[in-house]
Amino acid sequence: MDSKDFQIIRELQKDGRLSNQELSERVNLSPSPCLRRVRNLEKEGVIRGYAAIVDEPSLGLSVTAFVRVTLERHTEETTREFEDSIRRIDEILDCYVMTGGSDYLLRVIAPDLQSYERFVRERLHKVKAIASIDTGFAYGVVKRSTLLPYPV
Amino acid sequence: MDSKDFQIIRELQKDGRLSNQELSERVNLSPSPCLRRVRNLEKEGVIRGYAAIVDEPSLGLSVTAFVRVTLERHTEETTREFEDSIRRIDEILDCYVMTGGSDYLLRVIAPDLQSYERFVRERLHKVKAIASIDTGFAYGVVKRSTLLPYPV
DNA sequence: GATAATATTGGCAGAATCTGCCAATAGGGG
DNA sequence: CCCCTATTGGCAGATTCTGCCAATATTATC
């Protein structure tokens, strides 16, 4: 992976629907090697996919919550079961394993506070082995970027 | 916005590079009305853009940190200044305003712990009006989804 | 329930883009 | 300096895009 690849990655992070033609001009290549590089980055898993970035409020999703979860036990099986459950719940968009007592941090999206309450009662509390949850709500977004730092 | 629009949004969240042809087949439309709907969703700001999803470790970015920030003062000017600074720092990918004492939650990406330390000392601590910061590291990813819930 | 007004659709065609192949070029090692 | 390998640019057939128009579906009004 050389600097051309980084440039390509950078441009596609900024606009994932760039035509190969336009992309090739921006990184100073002709279309065919450019396309070959893109395909390669996809094949190698450097580019994991492409997604439309959607405005949540426009879809009536105005609540973003961050939820800290701690587990009762940390056996391999409990953990696996917990993580499988998380992956199956659509309202949970992201889930990270955090340092400090094997917690998880979830990012959850819901239409409103009421729906979020229901999500916690009907979905999250049904997940086995959860010891405690602690919700914080986001009531504003300052920044959301898809452009990773450093490799210029 | 009707159910066809929701379907389109759904498909483009799953694959942002879908050709209009393929997309139109998936949502049972012919290409031209399909494209018109997509353009409209873009114009209305429902679709805010498209992005390549990149594997961070492949770019040598293996540290994800969540940082809680509290401000010393909460005047309009302090807040604005703080938020502007945040937006200018590349390592900070996301920044949410959180409930409970006007905190912020940042998601930060760095190559390693050392770089993260340097980021905190050289960048974050230079931002005015920060009273305290509290970092939690993600050492695993269970789930990351670009597909918003509900509107089936 | 019929009719008119409006919005949305499907098809078409010229323009643009994609994409696999091949010869030419650039870069590295002996 | 030459050879070997990797990468590039150009080409061409196939595909896709995209704006326009007539046809169809939807909605409002009476």
Look up the CATH number of the domain holding residue A19.
1.10.10.10
What are B55's two structure tokens? 């594997």
Do A76 and A128 sit in the same domain of this protein? yes
Q: Domain residues for B118? A: 57-138
Q: Which of A2, A8, A61, A148 to mutate to test the interface with B (most CBs of B within 10 A)?
A: A148
* Cβ contact B93:B109 at 8 Å: yes
Confirm whether A50 is domain-assigned: no
Contact at CB, B142 and A96, closer than 8 angstroms: yes
Do B28 and B89 sit in the same domain of this protein? no
Confirm whether A148 is domain-assigned: no
Chain A: give the shortest CA distance to residue B119, in Å. 12
Across-strand partners of B136? B66
Do A38 and A66 sit in the same domain of this protein? no
Do B112 and B61 sit in the same domain of this protein? yes
What is the distance between the alpha carbons of residues A126 and A121, in angstroms, rounded to a whole number?
A: 8
- Three-state SS string over B32-84 comes to HHHHHHHHHHHHCCCEEEEEEEECCHHHCCCEEEEEEEEECCCCHHHHHHHHH
Write the pLDDT tens digit of every residue in A94-132.
999 999 866 999 999 999 999 999 999 999 999 999 999
Give the number of A-B residue pairs with CB atoms closer than 8 Å: 227
Chain B: give the shortest CA distance to residue A91, in Å. 5
Write the pLDDT tens digit of every residue in B83-108.
999 999 999 999 999 998 669 999 99
Do B18 and B63 sit in the same domain of this protein? no
Q: Collapse the DSSP code of B27 into the 3-class scheme (helix H, G, I; strand E, B; otherwise coil) and give the result.
A: coil
Chain B: give the shortest CA distance to residue A151, in Å. 7
Strand D nucleotides where any atom sits below 7 Å of a protein CB: 7-11, 15-21
The whole-number Å distance from B26's CA to D8's C1' is 37
Do A24 and A61 sit in the same domain of this protein? no
Confirm whether B50 is domain-assigned: no
The whole-number Å distance from A69's CA to C4's C1' is 60
Q: Where are the alpha helices (DSSP H) in chain A?
A: 3-14, 20-26, 31-43, 76-88, 113-122
Do A72 and A37 sit in the same domain of this protein? no
Do A73 and A15 sit in the same domain of this protein? no
What are A75's two structure tokens? 């056996």
Q: How many structural domains compose chain B?
A: 2
Do A101 and A68 sit in the same domain of this protein? yes
What CATH number does residue B100 fall under? 3.30.70.920
Which pLDDT value is given to residue B51? 97
Angle at B109 between CA B100 and CA B92, to 5 degrees: 50
- Tokens 């010393």 sit at which residue? B72
Angle at A49 between CA A6 and CA A62, to 5 degrees: 110
Residue B152 above 80 pLDDT?
no
Helix (H) or strand (E) holding A41: helix A31-43
What are A44's two structure tokens? 């190698």
Give B-chain residues touching A138 at CB under 8 angstroms. 96-99, 105
Mean of pLDDT over chain A: 95
Confirm whether A8 is domain-assigned: yes
Do A62 and A103 sit in the same domain of this protein? yes
Write the pLDDT tens digit of every residue in B37-71.
999 999 999 999 999 999 999 999 999 999 999 99
Do A81 and A132 sit in the same domain of this protein? yes
What are A110's two structure tokens? 């819901």
Give B-chain residues touching A146 at CB under 8 angstroms. 49, 51-53, 93
Do B33 and B92 sit in the same domain of this protein? no
pLDDT tier at B118 (50, 70, 90 boundaries)?
very high
Confirm whether A127 is domain-assigned: yes
Confirm whether B151 is domain-assigned: no
The whole-number Å distance from B30's CA to D23's C1' is 14
Confirm whether B152 is domain-assigned: no
Instruction: Encode B76-105: b = buried (16+ Cβ within 10 Å), e = exposed.
Output: eeebeebbebbeebebbbbbbbbeeeebbb
